[in-house]
Amino acid sequence: MFYRGMCYQEVVEKNRQKGGDILEVTVQREGAKETAVIVTDYADGLTVSTDTLVYEGEYLQSWTLAFGCKEPIPIFLRDEYEGIKREMAML
């Protein structure tokens, strides 16, 4: 499938390029919604990151990143992006 926005396969490749070992990649589909979760290990378990990308249709809706059991950090949120686009169009 072609995605508009960051594709989860690109996240896997970037994490590998940064020296991470991919522990798990899961993709779940529910109708038009697709969720990809990438778990990456850095430095033999000293740091484990979890990227969660949610797509609706072909569009990335959200991307969050969590380290260990800490609260996920939003990397991209479609609602915020659309809001910024609307603000910029009014300038």
Quote the domain boundaries for residue 52. Answer: 8-90
Q: Rounded CA gap, 28 and 46, in Å?
A: 28
Structure tokens at 17: 């390029």
Task: Find where tokens 């949610």 sit.
Answer: 54
- Summarised one tens digit per residue, pLDDT across range 17-51 is 999 999 999 999 999 999 999 999 999 989 999 99
Residue 83 lies in a domain: yes
Query: CA-to-CA distance for 59 and 50, rounded, in angstroms?
Result: 20
Q: Assess if residue 70 is contained within a domain.
A: yes
Percent of the chain with pLDDT over 90: 73
Burial class (CB in 10 A: 0-12, 13-18, 19+), 88: exposed
DSSP single-letter state for residue 71: P
Q: Mean pLDDT for the chain?
A: 92
pTM value surpassing 0.85? yes
| pLDDT confidence of residue 54 | 97
Please give the share of the chain, as a percent, with pLDDT higher than 70: 96
Alpha carbons 63 and 8: distance in angstroms, whole number: 10
Q: How many structural domains does the chain have?
A: 1
Q: Identify the pLDDT of residue 34.
A: 96
